[in-house]
Structure 1
Amino acid sequence: MTDAVDRSALRQFLLGLAQGMNASAESVDRIGETIAEIAAAYDGADIDFVVLPTIIIVETGDGEEERVAFRSVTTASFRFDQIAALYDLIAQARTGTVDPLDGIRRLNEIGAMRPRLGWFTRTLGHAILTTGLALLLAPTWQGALIAFGLGFGIGLLKLVRSPTLQLIMPIAAAFVCATAVFLLAEVVEIGDPIRLLIAPLATFLPGGVLTTATVELAAGQMISGASRLIYGFVQLALLAFGILAAGAVVGVSSRSYQPLDASSFLPWWVALLGILVFALGNYLHFSAPPSTFGWVLLALVVAYVGQWAGAKFIDPTVGGFIGAVSVTPVVFWVAGLRHGPPSQLTFLPAFWLLVPGAAGLVGLTEAFATGNGLADFTTALVSVMSIALGVLIGTALYRVVHHGAEEIVQFVVAPPPAADAEPAPTLWQRLSAPLRRLRRR
């Protein structure tokens, strides 16, 4: 009976870990790999599982002892402090040192964690986050001030815990922000009104969802990838509908949905200021642990410099690709440090900075409102694909370098063989072994 109780607790523990990783915006292939490692640490050779965006199934035992547990996954998302606590627990679970019952208790505590910062500080953080992104997308001082005010208002709305309001929040937020921006654009020099709208709506943009969907499709996870892709485009459509509805009420022309002249943009160093302000806003709004601010800022700088270099020296379409390739190994390297933050905590702000969702929202809005918007939307799709491809290639590069370095270190520091043992293979023999096997075939 003890074994059955232990297996039941282990099933619930694995379900909770997978649900938490899903709330941390992790892809299902990464969730599957992690759960497999943890199950192996608990001698779970008889454990099988299925991970999808909306349901998780875990099976233990064999034959008459077979037991199945499943859990419906909600769309709730974790704050940064919850993500950090979850991945600390995952690191311990990988070694099998956490009792499943204790792990379930800690998962419940993580889910019920109160924000480290108060409601006003988190709302102010949303306004600061919005201002930083406005300095990057539509850099005018007037636009930054308007973005701060709109960001503070949206931050207050997000504090309301009403299921009904949560359903219509994207449309309501887009409508309110677009109405304010279109009315102010007549009297204040704010630059491109559509790009300014992206800033207060940043936390509603499904940039991370679209990128994760593309990565999952490339990894062969067709069900989860396709469902996330559709979900992301529906979110974009809801936001675009709110903007278009506001335009119809205010009475703007189709020219208002097209990019404006950038002659009033601020100096180049304002972009660096925008990155710093954006990092500070993420830190405050998502109640990030104090030690993570510097790492998030590093990831944002690497992502932005990579994107800028790709757009400047190659083509704007591949800017996101270069940014993703640059930041992905850095994020995994930081996560591998002894006191480094989990990869998701630094990945998510970088996704928002690369703004694949922002490009999609601009393109979708112009597609409905102007004659040449469909071409812009196609360009946005290419940007999303390029960022996802950059994440895939960056991940592959990190794994090749990381595992290759580990093998070299193990070879160098390996203890001397016993007197009666076979001689250890030379470095050349290890490196040429795959080629010899290929020749024998």
Structure 2
Amino acid sequence: MPVDLDRSALRQFLLGLAQGMNASAESVDRIRDTVTTVAEAYGADDTDFVVLPTIIIVETGDDEDSRVAIRSATNASFRFDQIAALYELIAQARTASVSPLDGIRRLNEIGAMRPRLGWVTRTFGHAVLTTGLALLLAPTWQGAIVAFALGAGIGLLKLVRSPTLQLIMPIAAAFVCAAAVFLLAEVIEIGDPIRLLIAPLVTFLPGGVLTTATVELASGQMISGASRLVYGFVQLALLAFGILAAGTVVGVESRTYEPLEVASSLPWWVALIGILVFALGNYLHFSAPASTFGWVLLALIVAYAGQCVGAALLGPLVGGFVGAVAMAVVVFWIGSLRHGTPVQITFLPAFWLLVPGAAGLVGLTEAVATDGGLADFMEALVSVMSIALGVLIGTALYRVVHHGAEEIVQFAVAVPTAVTDAVQPRLWERLLPWRRRRADAP
């Protein structure tokens, strides 16, 4: 570490980077790898880290002169514009092109960033993304209209920043949406009521949390993975409780909680419109930078196409596996491009499109309300596991291909250089006697 570098500022900077990545829904192993790379860039090779979902510890110095900094990670979540700004700062920190003090100031600015879009646009965006997902899950025009109205209401509810309301938000949202859907199902044809409920509740579903937890458990991060897994199931339980409470108040029968096989009356291209609308809704609701829309749309198309192919070849239970593999490869490729976008901005919408949390919510609701729902809940767990395994394999596949391509390029550059280095001395040795004879000639 350079002698003029403030170790205390560097510790705080590393803590802030880790906390920001945690708010971006990154896994702890990727957070640790990133902050380790940043620390090495600043010459702090003696830095060690402990990264958990709720606490971050950074130690710098050797045994005789070590210093420890601890920060409690809050349950905050970044919007897409904040994620983009954070990863731009991380890119600078990887090359030590920003001082730790300037980095801390920039982190504070990112945390206090005001949304790029106004509250009306963001509320409309939540309604739009809800409509797009409804066109994929319960493809009826009536269901899409209901989903738009419910999505707008939930979008308004999410604008309230009361800590008390945030605690009961999942239950309140599930109760309001379920009561509205159950009452409307008696009057108009909206398709499958339970699957239609998923659309307005999608931003509350812990699909990404459950998938990240499974990935962390598979990679050996037992504490983090187990805690995320429990947190995800608690979120599902809160949503299921809100749905069941609404069903009790409205007075629905237990078979209402069973998913219905409703044949879609809409043409096949409506699914493509649903993907486009879903991408637009994510762009508006999360105030994403303008340059990210095309990349998010590409990731969604790849995830949906992979899921459809997987369902046709392997069955719907593990259809998400193929979609997750294809999606992981594509989002990491996008993240590696010079003018690409951070991985998390494309990952999160694709997670919601694969909807592992939706399957878990349907299964858990059935398990409580009906006799045969436990089997469906276990199938939902298998679906989550298949998607998590797909993410693992897709990530590994990308790294193999990416590093393999780098090695091929290095080999292609190294071989001519080695040949030149080997041939040039011998050629010079052969030419040297000839040059001497020519110099001695009269």
Identify the TM-score tier after normalising by the shorter chain.
Answer: over 0.9
**What is the 5 A alignment of 1:312-327?**
312-327=312-327
Aligned AA (2:40) = A
Q: C-alpha displacement at 1:340, in angstroms? A: 0.3
CA distance in structure 2 between the aligned counterparts of 1:419 and 1:411, rounded to whole angstroms: 14
Which digits, 9 at most, give the CA deviation of each residue in 1:317-343, with x for residues without a partner? Answer: 111100000111100111111010000
Aligned AA (1:307) = Q
| Aligned counterpart, 2:32 | 32
Question: Does 409-418 or 157-166 show the bigger shift?
Answer: 409-418
> Secondary structure, in 3 states, of the residue corresponding to 1:114?
coil
| Aligned counterpart, 1:143 | 143
> Secondary structure, in 3 states, of the residue corresponding to 2:6?
helix
Q: C-alpha displacement at 1:121, in angstroms? A: 0.1
Q: Quick one: structure 1 residues 402 and 5, their matched pair in 2 at CA, closer, same or farther if it must change by over 3 Å?
A: closer
CA distance in structure 1 between the aligned counterparts of 2:341 and 2:264, rounded to whole angstroms: 39
Aligned AA (2:279) = A
Please say if 1:233 is aligned against 2:222. no
| Aligned counterpart, 2:63 | 63
CA distance in structure 1 between the aligned counterparts of 2:46 and 2:187, rounded to whole angstroms: 68
Tell me if structure 2 keeps the 8 A contact 1:138–1:265. Answer: no
Q: Quick one: structure 1 residues 419 and 335, their matched pair in 2 at CA, closer, same or farther if it must change by over 3 Å?
A: closer
Tell me if structure 2 keeps the 8 A contact 1:132–1:277. Answer: yes
**What is the 5 A alignment of 1:336-347?**
336-347=336-347
| Aligned counterpart, 2:417 | 416
CA distance in structure 2 between the aligned counterparts of 1:327 and 1:301, rounded to whole angstroms: 9
Q: C-alpha displacement at 1:421, in angstroms? A: 6.8
> Secondary structure, in 3 states, of the residue corresponding to 1:266?
coil
RMSD: 1.5
> Secondary structure, in 3 states, of the residue corresponding to 1:68?
strand
Q: Quick one: structure 1 residues 249 and 420, their matched pair in 2 at CA, closer, same or farther if it must change by over 3 Å?
A: closer
Q: C-alpha displacement at 1:418, in angstroms? A: 8.9
| Aligned counterpart, 2:438 | none
Which digits, 9 at most, give the CA deviation of each residue in 1:346-378, with x for residues without a partner? Answer: 000000000000000000000001111101000
| Aligned counterpart, 1:428 | none
Aligned AA (1:416) = T
Q: Quick one: structure 1 residues 374 and 265, their matched pair in 2 at CA, closer, same or farther if it must change by over 3 Å?
A: farther
| Aligned counterpart, 1:172 | 172
Aligned AA (2:167) = L
CA distance in structure 2 between the aligned counterparts of 1:319 and 1:92, rounded to whole angstroms: 39
> Secondary structure, in 3 states, of the residue corresponding to 1:416?
helix
| Aligned counterpart, 1:360 | 360
**What is the 5 A alignment of 1:269-418?**
269-414=269-414, 416-417=417-418
**What is the 5 A alignment of 1:61-100?**
61-100=61-100
CA distance in structure 1 between the aligned counterparts of 2:18 and 2:140, rounded to whole angstroms: 43
Q: Which of 1 and 2 has greater Rg?
A: 2
| Aligned counterpart, 1:437 | none
Q: C-alpha displacement at 1:419, in angstroms? A: 7.6
Tell me if structure 2 keeps the 8 A contact 1:179–1:250. Answer: yes
TM-score by length of 2: 0.93
CA distance in structure 2 between the aligned counterparts of 1:74 and 1:412, rounded to whole angstroms: 48
Q: Quick one: structure 1 residues 333 and 264, their matched pair in 2 at CA, closer, same or farther if it must change by over 3 Å?
A: closer
Aligned AA (2:302) = V
CA distance in structure 1 between the aligned counterparts of 2:411 and 2:387, rounded to whole angstroms: 36
Aligned AA (2:77) = S
Q: Quick one: structure 1 residues 248 and 66, their matched pair in 2 at CA, closer, same or farther if it must change by over 3 Å?
A: same
Q: C-alpha displacement at 1:313, in angstroms? A: 2.2
> Secondary structure, in 3 states, of the residue corresponding to 1:187?
coil
CA distance in structure 2 between the aligned counterparts of 1:30 and 1:266, rounded to whole angstroms: 42
> Secondary structure, in 3 states, of the residue corresponding to 2:59?
strand
Q: Quick one: structure 1 residues 258 and 422, their matched pair in 2 at CA, closer, same or farther if it must change by over 3 Å?
A: farther
> Secondary structure, in 3 states, of the residue corresponding to 2:186?
coil
> Secondary structure, in 3 states, of the residue corresponding to 2:318?
helix
| Aligned counterpart, 1:435 | none
CA distance in structure 1 between the aligned counterparts of 2:30 and 2:162, rounded to whole angstroms: 32
CA distance in structure 2 between the aligned counterparts of 1:43 and 1:319, rounded to whole angstroms: 46
CA distance in structure 2 between the aligned counterparts of 1:153 and 1:19, rounded to whole angstroms: 31
TM-score by length of 1: 0.94
CA distance in structure 2 between the aligned counterparts of 1:121 and 1:339, rounded to whole angstroms: 26
Q: C-alpha displacement at 1:413, in angstroms? A: 2.1
Q: C-alpha displacement at 1:263, in angstroms? A: 2.6
Q: Quick one: structure 1 residues 192 and 418, their matched pair in 2 at CA, closer, same or farther if it must change by over 3 Å?
A: closer
Q: C-alpha displacement at 1:420, in angstroms? A: 7.2
Aligned AA (1:134) = A
Q: C-alpha displacement at 1:265, in angstroms? A: 3.9
Aligned AA (2:316) = P
| Aligned counterpart, 2:440 | none
Please say if 1:250 is aligned against 2:233. no
CA distance in structure 2 between the aligned counterparts of 1:265 and 1:318, rounded to whole angstroms: 26
Q: C-alpha displacement at 1:56, in angstroms? A: 0.2
Which digits, 9 at most, give the CA deviation of each residue in 1:6-52, with x for residues without a partner? Answer: 10000000000000000000000000111111111011111011000
Which digits, 9 at most, give the CA deviation of each residue in 1:247-297, with x for residues without a partner? Answer: 000000011111223134422211111000000000000000001100000
CA distance in structure 2 between the aligned counterparts of 1:420 and 1:381, rounded to whole angstroms: 59
> Secondary structure, in 3 states, of the residue corresponding to 1:344?
helix
| Aligned counterpart, 2:158 | 158
CA distance in structure 2 between the aligned counterparts of 1:148 and 1:222, rounded to whole angstroms: 40
CA distance in structure 2 between the aligned counterparts of 1:258 and 1:245, rounded to whole angstroms: 16
> Secondary structure, in 3 states, of the residue corresponding to 2:56?
strand
Please say if 1:111 is aligned against 2:115. no
Q: C-alpha displacement at 1:312, in angstroms? A: 1.5
> Secondary structure, in 3 states, of the residue corresponding to 1:413?
helix
Aligned AA (1:136) = L
Please say if 1:267 is aligned against 2:267. yes
Aligned AA (2:363) = G
CA distance in structure 1 between the aligned counterparts of 2:313 and 2:133, rounded to whole angstroms: 23
Q: Quick one: structure 1 residues 92 and 4, their matched pair in 2 at CA, closer, same or farther if it must change by over 3 Å?
A: closer
Q: C-alpha displacement at 1:98, in angstroms? A: 1.0
| Aligned counterpart, 1:436 | none
Q: Quick one: structure 1 residues 261 and 46, their matched pair in 2 at CA, closer, same or farther if it must change by over 3 Å?
A: closer
